[in-house]
Chains A and B, each alone.
Chain A
Amino acid sequence: MSKIGLIIKREYTTRVKKKSFIVMTILGPILFASLMILPAVLMQLEDDEFKRIAVIDETGVFVNSLTNTEYIEFYDFSGRYFDQKTFTYDVTKATDDLKDSDYYALLYIPKNAVNNIKGSVILYSYTQPNVGIKMHIAHNIENKLKNIKFQVTADDLQITQEQIDEILSVANSEIQVVTNIIDEKGEFKETHSEVAMIVGYVSGFLIYMFVLMYGTQVMRGVIEEKTNRIVEVIVSSVKPFQLMMGKIVGVALVGITQFALWVLLTIGLVSAGQAIVLKDYDASKLNPTVMEMGSELDATSVVPDEKAMEFEEIFQAVYSVNYFAVIACFLFYFIGGYLLYGAMFAIVGSAVDNEADTQQFMLPITLPMVLGLFVMLTAMQNPNGSLAYWFSIIPFTSPIVMMARIPYGVPYIDLFISMALLVITFVFTTWFAGKIYRVGILMYGKKVNYKELWKWFRYKN
């Protein structure tokens, strides 16, 4: 094995065998997967328990519009707690009775609810009710209230229910702007900005995170070798540049390994999770309130078709992004950005004697990265603006900013200029870093400033 190969191998194996790497590699996917599965699981768990709810409805209007579901049943107790003498409802007694009953909660709708619904409906219970129940009740009452008000208006205006429905359907129509991009050949292509935005944001942020995380590892590694004083033994066998490159490449491979494991494990966990937890998974169960809301509103129930269309649209949107281009560019910009910054992190590591001294040199490294992150947020909204354009060309921010532009489609010439500049720059910074590094690693106990670094750069080897 060549010497640089040996160095890469050592840098790689010692890091991959570390506990922190293994823990991170396992925890990451668990975290990602749970973020994906958890909402669905929670929704299922919430509705698992069958609940009876007692209702006191002073208005007498709403109680019949509360619909029972698989897990919730409503019972009208308005009669039992009505005091004939005072013509009021004894809510206090009702809540006392609730304690030892097999009813989960008491729903109280006061008299003024019709006129002033906001905050007047109260749900009494001994445990915190879940969001699903609250939403179900709110939707039921809201729809009833709407219907009443429509009826009143309809009577006033002397129009029929059909006419109201027609007006409503016009008023409710959702407007969606379909975006079409016209390509060079004059063909139209439908695009979906929302998905592009998310894909761009996530990949840009991942690059930021990975470059910073693994760049710091390079720096720590250099400092470790310097403080351990092993570096002089090694540079008597290999060239300092080989040692530096071996470290940078070794750490990059660790990063790629971790990334690949994360992707694979996340996919594995998500599909396993879906198979186990959501055995009887189907679209309607995932979101029961939406279903009922729809059926309540519209008696004819066109829901399944609407649903199917919605899904189709989402899939279409998700697939409209050119993932091959995204992944290929992600790898390129991750490696390019990492090499560019990794070399600079190596300079910092070689210039100092311990980690506490790195602060003064970190700013010029982190500043362009943070700037890139901020520009990326703007670029997501205006991917072809001049700000996004220039920052996706400048090599120090291009890995982050260009990733935000790519899902929207970027002209090849922009991509080419940006990539070429990135390659030229990292070749230059690596060469520059190599010259400082070889002096820095053998220099101890010296307070180093930028002038000193410049002097090192100009030493002959």
Chain B
Amino acid sequence: MNALVAENVEKKFANHLALDDVSITVPEGSVYGLLGPNGAGKTTLIRIINQITAPDKGQVFIYGEKMQSKHVENIGYLPEERGLYKKMKVGEQALYLCQLKGLSKAETLKRLKYWFEKFEIQSWWDKKVEELSKGMQQKVQFIITVLHKPKLLIFDEPFSGFDPINTKMLKDEILNLRNEGATIIFSTHNMASVEEICDHIALINKSRKILEGPINEIRNNYASDIYEITFEGYFNKLESTLTSDYKILDVVENSQKSTMKVEVLNKNIKSNDLITIMTQYGNISSFQKHLPSMNDIFIKVVEETNTLIK
């Protein structure tokens, strides 16, 4: 089943179209990356999913049901622009915000105790929020977001402002939640973290979805015929053989080993042909197809659509 399906969503503001016929499908149990340049419409889409704003056209389904107000209790949302009441105490505030999500007071207290112990922050309970550092506040906010055990979690730029240790902790927690059955949508500019934790992605640019699918499939689709090879043997001879149909990139020559990338220019040549040639001059200790990074794909696709739209 899909955790979330958005169909042909359109949202218009006074003089610009924020979302133009956007459809996404978020499979249950996935970590779904919502990518796109600044101002592409990601936050608007997230706000629609959270029922903060309503779409002008299109529909949203949550676990197969048409979106209704009761669904907010199944969603945990950590917005990009986040904050807490500065003058309120941490415990009081966590209690208040979680009760707003529909949890009972006793249950909230029980779960808060668990999380505060887990993060070892029990001593913060009676502190005012303004006494905490920004990173500490983010931890509190993370707890508040997940406390009501939502089936669907939405994180908008969750790693901004976190130090590497807390970033790692947060990543682990996100994967934990996924393993416990939650579905996670998260929006970020950090492509390395996308490769690390996302199963699916959608790329939005200029109010339109321009790419969607499982991350491995996408990376394979965008792969050109480039192979990463580690080779032991006569590199000079190899170099003189691989001429017209090949292109050798990024060579690092060691005393015996050399690592390189080889691009196959002729579409008729298969990887086996390349291997056959190479084995004549030495040993291949590793041979793998080069997959483009999400960063490369992001830039490539966004630039392509930008020129198209122009």
Contacts and interface: CB of A to CB of B under 8 A. Distances in A.
Interface of A: 1, 3, 6-7, 10, 14, 224-225, 228-230, 232-240, 442, 444, 455, 459-461
Given A442-B47, A461-B53, A236 B86 contact: no
Contacts of B53: 442, 461
A264 B80 CA distance: 48
A230 B97 CA distance: 10
A455 B14 contact: yes
B123 to A, nearest CB: 22
B87 A14 contact: yes
A224 B83 CA distance: 11
Contact of B52 (A228, A230, A235, A459): A235
A230 B101 contact: no
List 6 A-B pairs, minimum CB-CB distance, nearest first: A229-B83, A228-B83, A237-B100, A232-B79, A236-B77, A236-B50
Given A442-B47, A461-B53, A238 B82 contact: no
Interface of B: 13-14, 47, 50-54, 56, 69, 72, 75, 77-79, 81-88, 96-97, 99-102, 141, 144
Given A229-B82, A229-B83, A442-B47, A236 B96 contact: no
A241 to B, nearest CB: 12
A232 B80 CA distance: 9
Contacts of B79: 229, 232-233, 236
B101 A228 contact: no
A14 B88 contact: yes
Contacts of B69: 239
Contacts of B82: 229-230, 232-233
A459 B79 CA distance: 22
19 contacts: A3-B100, A6-B99, A7-B100, A229-B79, A229-B82, A230-B84, A232-B82, A233-B77, A233-B79, A233-B97, A233-B144, A234-B97, A236-B52, A236-B77, A237-B97, A455-B14, A459-B14, A460-B54, A460-B56
Nearest to B87: A14
Contacts of A228: 83-86
Nearest to A9: B96
A229 B157 CA distance: 15
B108 to A, nearest CB: 11
Given A461-B53, A461-B54, A237 B101 contact: yes
A442 B14 CA distance: 15
A241 B295 CA distance: 41
Give the dominant DSSP class at B's interface.
loop
Contacts, number: 67
A235 B100 CA distance: 10
B54 A10 contact: no
Nearest to A5: B99
Contacts of B14: 455, 459
A142 to B, nearest CB: 63
Contacts of B51: 236
B165 to A, nearest CB: 24
B32 to A, nearest CB: 18
A193 B84 CA distance: 54
B47 to A, nearest CB: 7
B83 A10 contact: no
A461 B51 CA distance: 10
A441 to B, nearest CB: 10
A237 B72 contact: yes
Contacts of B13: 459
Contacts of A10: 96
A235 B79 CA distance: 11
B85 A1 contact: no
A7 B85 CA distance: 13
Contact of A230 (B47, B72, B83, B102): B83
A236 B84 contact: no
A145 to B, nearest CB: 69
Q: For A230, A234, A444, which residue has the most chain B Cβ atoms within 10 angstroms?
A: A230
A446 to B, nearest CB: 11
A236 B72 contact: yes
Given A236-B75, A460-B56, A1 B97 contact: no
Given A224-B85, A233-B79, A442-B52, 18 more contacts: A1-B99, A3-B102, A6-B96, A6-B100, A10-B96, A229-B83, A232-B52, A233-B78, A236-B51, A236-B75, A237-B97, A237-B101, A237-B102, A238-B100, A442-B47, A459-B13, A460-B54, A461-B54
A444 B82 CA distance: 13
Contacts of A229: 79, 81-83
A7 B14 CA distance: 31
Contacts of B86: 228
Nearest to A458: B14
A131 to B, nearest CB: 49
Contacts of B77: 232-233, 236
A234 B100 contact: yes
Nearest to A10: B96
A239 B51 CA distance: 9
A203 to B, nearest CB: 34
A240 B52 CA distance: 8
A460 B99 CA distance: 29
Contacts of A442: 47, 52-53
A444 B84 CA distance: 17
Contacts of A224: 85
Contacts of B54: 460-461
A394 B180 CA distance: 61
Contacts of B56: 460
A238 B96 CA distance: 12
B128 to A, nearest CB: 12
Nearest to B54: A461
Nearest to A238: B100
Contacts of A7: 100
Contacts of A14: 85, 87-88
Contacts of B78: 233
A329 to B, nearest CB: 36
A225 B56 CA distance: 27
Nearest to A231: B83
Contacts of A240: 52
Contacts of B75: 236
B251 to A, nearest CB: 49
A454 to B, nearest CB: 10
Nearest to B156: A232
B289 to A, nearest CB: 42
A444 B79 CA distance: 14
B81 A444 contact: yes
A1 B81 CA distance: 28
A7 B97 CA distance: 10
A1 B95 CA distance: 13
